[in-house]
Structure 1
């Protein structure tokens, strides 16, 4: 009789274990970074071609757009955070760079998605990342070292109208008078995602938002040499926090 009881319990435990294994499902995610100008898609083919108008009415084109995100994080209902390895340098001229495809898997469920724009101070270590060094992503030591957060380059038309260059480069703000840097990276909380299977998640950048809200950006006054402008860097960071990034479609 004891043998039958032991056999029954073994079968029951195996059955429960199998059911638990079936209930716990691991899935993969991909994050697709897309760009737009106030809702109108902006892609590689638009570089140096498509004329845009910012909030102040200035006409401009974009020749280069590169930006870095790090600490891509999914946090579940129990406040357990999954931080995906590494960082991602997005280059609009390189379509392969627009997709972040981590090897780490997660269990299905409801999550909050967040990203860090740029590197925070702990990660912004001068010369630390070989691929970023190769990509000429470094910031000169005279400006505190470390790495860029974004390079947005192009041309704008003044009131004449003449065409002039602009270099909207975002870095850690550096006070050249005191030689003290200020961490101007920021975390973007993109909202909730319900992951039921392998998922493609879109993260959208509205490029137009960099030139407005809360600071209307006058390219006639602030166009080049912005990396050495401590106040300009803080204004860029403030604009970036105010709606540049948003959650797009989720397909699974």
Structure 2
């Protein structure tokens, strides 16, 4: 009897071990946190730097920042098997005031390895929902773009003052929107000839997503004035929204390296 009981115990233990080996662990679903930081050529831009710290751009102009507000949308996670996770939401970041510098997209994804990307501004599909974002319509003195300029929404508003080529302190407005071409200037209700999507996708590369992942996205403000188009504030310092060529050049500068992956914490 004792021998039978002993054999039964061994058999049960063997079955139990095999069962444990055959169990497939399903990855847990999790949210992902993002932190947006700003720097000038690697030097962090803090709240106290606005209107006090002078920066020198690639063209040699000394400038200060008074405002830096920008929109990102469609944070996307692409898995190795091609599955795409996109919450379809957006985030308006006011860098000076520290508003929305921390953001969690409204989506849960399985833990694992992903290519992570986002859109700077709104692409045409989202931008054509003109007036459809009530929070953006009421924020920051209206984030909406006037109808004669093609409607939709700003991508970024960067403002401040610079010393021009004759030593006078002049305000600048570096505003990025969808490029719009007009038959005359100033543009009017019936002068719009062409709209071009100048938003762009930022690819942060491969990132492992765990249960408490925080991804830092860095904006190097210096790059907006630098590459591939060296920016001359004496020529392009205001009324840039209806300037088709200026909007194209700003988009190229942003695409070339304004954003990069910072620290990833788990």
TM-score normalised according to structure 1 size:
0.90
What does the per-residue CA deviation read over 1:83-138, in whole Å, with 9 as the maximum and x for residues that have no partner?
Answer: 12310101013324101112422111111010101111110021110000001101
Deviation sequence 1:149-174 (CA, Å, 0-9, x none): 00000000013311001000000000
Q: Give the unaligned 5+ runs of structure 1.
A: 1-7
Runs of 4 or more, structure 1, over 6 Å off, are none
Residues 144 and 179 of structure 1 are in contact (CA less than 8 Å); yes or no, is this contact kept in structure 2?
no
Task: Give the greater-gyration-radius structure (CA).
Answer: 2
Task: Please report the TM-score for the alignment, with normalisation by the length of structure 2.
Answer: 0.86
The root-mean-square deviation of aligned C-alpha atoms, in Å, is 1.9
Contact 2:161–2:170 at 8 Å: present in 1 too? yes
The question of 1:163 aligning with 2:169 is answered yes
In structure 2, the residue matched to 1:52 is: 55
Q: Which piece of structure 1 moves more, 111-120 or 171-180? A: 171-180
> Within the alignment, does 1:127 sit opposite 2:127 as a pair?
no
Mapped contact 2:75–2:105 kept (Cα < 8 A): no
> Structure 2 CA distance, aligned partners of 1:28 and 1:96?
20
2:245 counterpart of 1:231: yes
Q: After superposition, what is the alpha-carbon deviation per residue over 1:197-239, rounded to whole angstroms, capped at 9, x for unaligned?
A: 2111000000000001110000011100001111100001111
Aligned length in residues: 240
Shift of 1:19: 4.1
1:5 corresponds in structure 2 to none
What does residue 251 of structure 1 align with? 265
d(CA) in 1 for partners of 2:165 and 2:194? 37
Q: Which runs of 5+ in 2 are unaligned?
A: 1-11, 184-191
Is 1:87 aligned to residue 90 of structure 2?
yes
The answer (yes or no) to whether the contact 1:138–1:146 under 8 Å persists in 2 is: yes
Taking the aligned partners of 1:181 and 1:23, their CA distance within structure 2 comes to 46
Q: Distance in 2 between matches of 1:115 and 1:134?
A: 24
